[in-house]
Structure 1
């Protein structure tokens, strides 16, 4: 019993310490709140001192009783302070003054043994006086609580209920304890040992009372989840204790069958406990009971909002399924079905959670009930008559026929009903109130926004895929346009030069080149084309290929080659195509009677290519903002607007750069610089003499 007493009061000290910290954090300066914190702090010291006294067993009885008196003084000061808000009769005012004088006098009397004054038979220290005095204090505390609860208005009793219960149990238990001590001149050691555990159980009631009385200036937030699980564990603990007591008496009076019956009873009780613990309906009943009796609001809005956000942002299932489940969890509903508006302006099942919906069910959005759900955000209770007694507003039979259908919750976004959720009947039936309706409306708006955002993202992704396809088509058409332009020029000159062998040879070469380019485009579309390797390319070869293809369109480019062979790393066909884009643009700008010049030179470690025309030129704004912008063209239906962009991007991919100099009315120069590469088959590195082997 020695260790049990120590453990009991240490548990009480820990519980009151936690309560003191919670109250201290939430204190906002009011006197009543400060007195409650003082009372819980004194209770911490009281319980710790009694645990210490039991451990040492050398502490004098007057110090133990002084701790008792001071604890009662702290609680009586707090309770009497609560009377300040109500008028008191003269008798009650006198009782309050007398109670304070009594505990002060008892505290001073506990100091009598250490005063050193001579003690006679008449003035000797008497423990029984203190026991009777503490008993009177406990009785006074009960009277205070009774008067307090009786004199407040009926609507205020809800706020004080748990304070009266907690302190009533504390005072009543001490009345029993000290009555026993006065009558039998000794303490009931079992009751003394259990006292700490019992007082520790009272701390949660005090916290709930503080949370219900904001005028005490104590912002105490009691977690519903903590209360739910704590209460569940407490119920399970009492159930196990009752089972153990029953098993003990069965074994004591059961004779030969006692032990067998005890084991059977315990196992049966454990099976019942596990069945009840894992029962969703039992948990729902307990949750409803706690919300009704322990909290001022039915819902913990912070917890509900966090759970809704977590459900919508999870990735365990598809978003519509998560949305239906999240709405059902708000009302503790075992199932739900989500209906969304489709392109035909009908509401169809989008997702179901433990509530199957008929395949092919469609509800026209023109039904009157959808109008009132949108305009008033009306939440339908399918078990009730239609709103306003109007039969036209009755819900469709298809929805009423759904399994255990209960509520229709609208999903409204920007004044438009985008869908609704059908909730199954909750595990524990209760009448809807303003809290349920407001929370469902707010949650419905959040779910509507999330679903709409997901739908927009899906449509945007589809649009991006189509845009990518359109861009691919544009690049393909650009290359095909160039091929078609070459074939058109051949047909224009064929009638005049068809008997010229040189023209025929040139035409066959051009046609073969066109076929090869089209075949390569088809391979790229099918994904069969091998990646183009960038080898050492003689710049002259790519330029000759380009000039051969652009010779048919006037004006013919004037070529000014470099004085030496220049080699770069590129693909000959792609480099020729890029140069051809730039030359054809120069020819279009210069027109038939203008001039186009192609110059090639070395510029340090780069090959410099300049294509100059004497056309209309461009201003700086056009060069900076529109020249290289994809799909922007000044050639109306004749151009695709990607030639300059494609040329610049390819030059950049080779590690080079493209720049433009232009003056309106004078012409334009496209300058391309490409890094030089070592010539194939030559041991000479650019800029460095070869070392002979």
Structure 2
């Protein structure tokens, strides 16, 4: 076993030495050659010292462990350098110098712990060996996290250049993690796993060399995203926490006597519950995000991620837009709540919505000094720094309702086209945050976008109200038109009442006319009723509708007649509206025809359609009038007409998939031809009117 282990370590040392020599000779055009050479030399020195300690049974344990730590640090720094480079070869603005310093501090602490444990002060037993192994586990986790970031955040078209380097370096750290986590758990290094370490590391050299030759500059446009840094830090911190807790639990088990195992498991269960509570805490996540942005990045925000999230928050379905606006702006500063104030119709500003904030019933006058500050200066107010106000407002004081909100921190104005549309009051952030120019600029841009969304919603609501009024006015026009027809019938009855009041037939017609007029007016009132549901289309007998329409006009002159050539014709329609359409056309024909003329409603079947022709011998219409004015609303030749009856009739006929055409000759008469698809007993239309 010793000979096999020595062979593996010799092979690894030789290959890393060759890789260092190649990197040293091929340094031109390769910005990472020096770091690769350093990492390879330290790896060769480490494996060489291990071989010497095996064969000669001599060597300093501290030197070997120190070289191992330096070797791991060099490979981690190489990965960080690759991650920190853009395509143009300049250092990215993502990881700052503090990030590199933190890595250096971690390895320095690891070296100091290892050196301290080698002092005679500490007994070299299983406990100190376990601590040494735990330090190596932390280093291996850090290395794997960095390699994972390198691979994940390399564009897919550039991964061919770095994937073998990721596999090789990742395999080194993964094998170290397995070796030392096993040693930590069992308080002893597995000899077989340790013996194979040289061969495993030797296998990684060709992969690193292949990746180095594929892309000498290793410029992949890679940047460490904040989300990935957050995830990696969380994983690394959790792993370190569980490692410490496992060590403490093992110590409790050893010194706890008979109750040791019970106390150990209770301690580990409590540690896991505590870890889950911390990971699910919004305050803890907020603190970690602020800490990473403050200490490891030049800028506080990943603007691409923030803008995509902000846009998704405003655009996606969910709560009301006003609440989504509060959440989207509050998330930018890690605030857990806020309220939105918008301008009421009378001009003052009221609280429109709130999210995890108190509901207030007060108002802020639109001409107050507070609103003027937001409107004219576009000022974002930091309530924790009231002295930060424009110089021209020395005597400015906050509104009482705002000072009464103990948790309020920031007031963000919402400006739309240069005017104050509203403002958002945000609560204190979850973690301590100092507002600077970067946060103010981001809030200004975000508030402008939010104001645009709110303004668009406000305009859409105003348009909806305008359309409702338009629909109401249009309905009023049709109702007035129907009232005009009813008035005409009642006026005719009133003019004949003096002469025929003792005539029984006239009295019957009078009662029928009054009954019909009452029904029509009731129908008109129902149309105006908000809660009235329109009658659904149903199969109706067309010949019965025609006869009823003709009967209702029987008191007029000339008296219309009905000619039913084909009976039992059924169509799918609203019987009231269809009767109204036929009544309109009959009324127009009667009014256009002298008393000695003739008005006929003729019904027949043609194929799968019903044909209704309303023919009169009246004045007729010119081709120009039919083409330009007949079917347009408010165009008429009658002094008392409104010009919407024919327009309404054709609109409803088209809704029934029918047609309405007119044939007219001046001074000879007019024929309106309605074509409707028939309805069969199986509940489907037999065809579409041609």
TM-score by length of structure 1 reads: 0.66
Question: Which one of the candidate residues 645, 654, 662 is aligned to 2:647?
Answer: 645
1:258-337 equivalences under 5 Å are: 262=264, 265-266=267-268, 269-270=271-272, 272-337=274-339
- Quote the residue 1:416 is aligned against: 419
Shift of the 676–208 alpha-carbon distance from structure 1 to 2, 3 Å rule, reads: closer
Shift of the 157–467 alpha-carbon distance from structure 1 to 2, 3 Å rule, reads: closer
Question: Which one of the candidate residues 393, 404, 407 is aligned to 2:407?
Answer: 404
Deviation at 1:542, TM superposition (A): 2.9
Question: Which one of the candidate residues 238, 241, 244 is aligned to 2:243?
Answer: 241
Deviation at 1:598, TM superposition (A): 3.3
- Quote the residue 1:552 is aligned against: 556
Shift of the 273–585 alpha-carbon distance from structure 1 to 2, 3 Å rule, reads: same
- Stretch moving more, 650-659 or 345-354: 650-659
Answer whether contact 2:543 2:569 (CA < 8 A) is retained. Answer: yes
Secondary structure (helix, strand or coil) at the match of 1:388 reads coil
Question: Which one of the candidate residues 665, 672, 675 is aligned to 2:674?
Answer: 672
- Quote the residue 1:50 is aligned against: none
Shift of the 523–425 alpha-carbon distance from structure 1 to 2, 3 Å rule, reads: closer
1:656-671 equivalences under 5 Å are: 656-662=658-664, 668-671=670-673
Tell me if 1:201 matches 2:142.
yes
Partners of 2:468 and 2:567 in 1: CA distance: 42
Tell me if 1:435 matches 2:438.
yes
Deviation at 1:490, TM superposition (A): 1.3
Partners of 1:558 and 1:277 in 2: CA distance: 86
Shift of the 174–423 alpha-carbon distance from structure 1 to 2, 3 Å rule, reads: closer
Question: Which one of the candidate residues 483, 486, 499 is aligned to 2:486?
Answer: 483
Question: Which one of the candidate residues 322, 333, 353 is aligned to 2:355?
Answer: 353
Shift of the 479–237 alpha-carbon distance from structure 1 to 2, 3 Å rule, reads: same
1:41-60 equivalences under 5 Å are: 60=8
Deviation at 1:343, TM superposition (A): 0.6
RMSD: 5.4
Deviation at 1:422, TM superposition (A): 0.7
Answer whether contact 2:340 2:353 (CA < 8 A) is retained. Answer: yes
Please tell me whether Structure 1 or Structure 2 has the larger radius of gyration of its CA atoms.
Answer: 1
TM-score by length of structure 2 reads: 0.67
Question: Which one of the candidate residues 425, 442, 457 is aligned to 2:428?
Answer: 425
- Quote the residue 1:226 is aligned against: 228
1:96-111 equivalences under 5 Å are: none
Shift of the 229–665 alpha-carbon distance from structure 1 to 2, 3 Å rule, reads: farther
1:98-137 equivalences under 5 Å are: none
Shift of the 673–64 alpha-carbon distance from structure 1 to 2, 3 Å rule, reads: closer
Answer whether contact 2:611 2:676 (CA < 8 A) is retained. Answer: yes
Question: Which one of the candidate residues 598, 615, 619 is aligned to 1:611?
Answer: 615
Deviation at 1:348, TM superposition (A): 0.8
Deviation at 1:336, TM superposition (A): 0.9
Q: Which runs of 5+ in 1 are unaligned?
A: 3-52, 86-95, 111-124, 181-187, 679-693
- Stretch moving more, 666-675 or 225-234: 666-675
Partners of 1:262 and 1:536 in 2: CA distance: 88
Deviation at 1:157, TM superposition (A): 13
Tell me if 1:64 matches 2:5.
no
Secondary structure (helix, strand or coil) at the match of 1:658 reads strand
Q: Which runs of 5+ in 2 are unaligned?
A: 49-55, 82-90, 118-127, 155-216, 681-690
Instruction: Render the CA deviation track for 1:494-531: whole Å, top value 9, x for unaligned.
Output: 23444555444433332333334445555675859987
1:351-390 equivalences under 5 Å are: 351-359=353-361, 361-383=362-384, 384-385=386-387, 386-388=389-391, 390=393
Answer whether contact 1:328 1:423 (CA < 8 A) is retained. Answer: yes
Shift of the 69–375 alpha-carbon distance from structure 1 to 2, 3 Å rule, reads: farther
Shift of the 230–641 alpha-carbon distance from structure 1 to 2, 3 Å rule, reads: farther
Shift of the 282–587 alpha-carbon distance from structure 1 to 2, 3 Å rule, reads: same
Shift of the 237–414 alpha-carbon distance from structure 1 to 2, 3 Å rule, reads: same
Shift of the 252–471 alpha-carbon distance from structure 1 to 2, 3 Å rule, reads: same
- Quote the residue 2:498 is aligned against: 495
Answer whether contact 2:94 2:225 (CA < 8 A) is retained. Answer: no
Answer whether contact 1:337 1:349 (CA < 8 A) is retained. Answer: yes
Deviation at 1:334, TM superposition (A): 2.1
Shift of the 217–627 alpha-carbon distance from structure 1 to 2, 3 Å rule, reads: farther
Answer whether contact 1:138 1:172 (CA < 8 A) is retained. Answer: no
Shift of the 481–317 alpha-carbon distance from structure 1 to 2, 3 Å rule, reads: same
- Quote the residue 1:47 is aligned against: none
1:15-30 equivalences under 5 Å are: none
Question: Which one of the candidate residues 461, 464, 488 is aligned to 1:461?
Answer: 464
Deviation at 1:632, TM superposition (A): 3.5
Shift of the 263–637 alpha-carbon distance from structure 1 to 2, 3 Å rule, reads: farther
Partners of 2:363 and 2:398 in 1: CA distance: 14
Partners of 1:618 and 1:325 in 2: CA distance: 65
- Quote the residue 1:688 is aligned against: none
Partners of 2:673 and 2:509 in 1: CA distance: 29
Secondary structure (helix, strand or coil) at the match of 1:387 reads coil
Partners of 2:70 and 2:240 in 1: CA distance: 27
Deviation at 1:228, TM superposition (A): 1.3
Answer whether contact 1:612 1:667 (CA < 8 A) is retained. Answer: yes
Shift of the 289–447 alpha-carbon distance from structure 1 to 2, 3 Å rule, reads: same
- Quote the residue 2:342 is aligned against: 340
Shift of the 216–297 alpha-carbon distance from structure 1 to 2, 3 Å rule, reads: farther
Q: How many residues align?
A: 573
Partners of 1:355 and 1:326 in 2: CA distance: 15
Shift of the 295–625 alpha-carbon distance from structure 1 to 2, 3 Å rule, reads: farther
Partners of 1:72 and 1:334 in 2: CA distance: 53
